[in-house]
Amino acid sequence: MKPGDDYQCPQCKKETFLKKESVMDGWTKKGDVLKCASCGHVVCELSGKTNSETHSSDPLKSSAAERFKSILGVDDFEKKPVIDSSVEETRFCKDCIHLIPHPFILRCSRFNKDVNPMDDCPDFKKRIGK
């Protein structure tokens, strides 16, 4: 039996065809079944290994992953960088005292030009209250 074959269903007594449907457990595929297209009666289960079975039965796949981790040095990825918060490197125009905010355009009063809020200001002076 295969999907699309003609089938006389004993459940609904109709001349119909078979459809293939996946059986899922959450996001994991457990297998495939053939069902009656009219009533959904399960006719048979299709044989064949699912993705989870093939990965768990192949020992080389898991050992290859472990070897790859040892090459990359997994311990290095688990360490987080230390960021020194005492050093202030933000010199953005959005935080500068010379910024003139407007809904349509932002201007710099120091250089009298249009600016982007994330531009880097050479004559940056921190705005009070930021």
For 78-96, how does the pLDDT look when each residue is reduced to its tens digit (9 = 90+)? 566 676 665 566 788 888 9
Residue 22: domain span:
1-49
Q: Does residue 72 lie within any of the structural domains?
A: no
Q: Which of 38-52, 78-92, 113-127 has the weakest average pLDDT?
A: 78-92
In the chain, the amino acid numbered 35 is K
65 pLDDT exceeds 80?
Answer: no
| Per-residue pLDDT at 79 | 63
Residue 56 is assigned to a structural domain of this protein: no
What 8-state DSSP symbol labels residue 102?
Answer: -
Burial 29-59 (b: 16+ CB within 10 A, else e): eeebbbbbbbeeeebeeeeeeeeeeeeeeee
Residue 95 lies in a domain: yes
Specify if 59 maps to a domain.
no
What is the tally of structural domains in the chain?
A: 2
Average pLDDT over residues 2-24: 89
Write down the pLDDT at residue 88: 60
- pLDDT at residue 52 tops 50: no
